[in-house]
Amino acid sequence: MKFQSRVWKFGENINTDLILPIQAFYLTPAEQAPWVFRANRPGWSEQVKPGDILVAGRNFGMGSSRPAARSLKNLGLSCLVAHSINGLFFRNCVNFAFPAIECADVFDAFEEGDVAEVDFDAATVKNITRGAALEAVALPPKLLGLLKAGGIYSLLEKEGMIGPKTAASG
């Protein structure tokens, strides 16, 4: 699994309330998209292009278990690379098939607008714009497999453990 695109940067301790504010919580996934990061980056969601990459500092995704990872995926971002990712948020990334990986010095290695290449199989992050290469924390094979399978919901559906996804279920 490899992604290459433009980078958007967010700092440290970004919580799920900033990603998916409570005002958008009960909206459909499509209706939630304009609300993503509205409090700290008004209009940002309209600037994101499909495939763009999110780079962040320490403790990205702290806070509640709201489906903020799904909102980032539905916005069209291809993946998240952060210095560190909150454990609950990381698991939601896997569940919703939004690829996320930790890479210690990633925040300082990029400026917003740089082009990144993130290779989840090799656990590498490259700044194509500046020629820098970083080693990320490799995902355990089972979690990488779960991401590639489309997340937990897709896998459970394929195994007949849950019914098919509907528009209402997001």
**Per the domain annotation, does 125 fall within a domain?**
yes
- What is the band of 170 on the pLDDT scale with cuts at 50, 70, 90? low
Assigned domain for 128 exists? yes
Residue 123: which pLDDT band, with cuts at 50, 70 and 90?
A: very high
**Residue numbers of the domain that contains 80:** 2-158
Query: Does the pLDDT at position 72 exceed 90?
Result: yes
Beta 115-119 vs 124-127: how paired, if at all? antiparallel
At 99 the pLDDT is: 97
Cα 23 from Cα 85, distance rounded (Å) = 24
**How confident is the model over 77-117, as pLDDT tens digits?**
999 999 999 999 999 999 999 999 999 999 999 999 999 99
Domain count, the chain: 1
- Rounded CA-CA distance 18/121 in Å is 30
Distance CA 28, CA 50 (A): 19
The 10s digit of each residue's pLDDT in 12-63 is: 999 999 998 888 888 888 888 899 999 889 999 999 999 999 999 999 999 8
Strand partners, 125: 118, 134
Residue 78 lies in a domain: yes
Task: Let me know if residue 95 belongs to a domain.
Answer: yes
Instruction: Give the pTM.
Output: 0.88
CATH code where residue 15 lies: 3.20.19.10
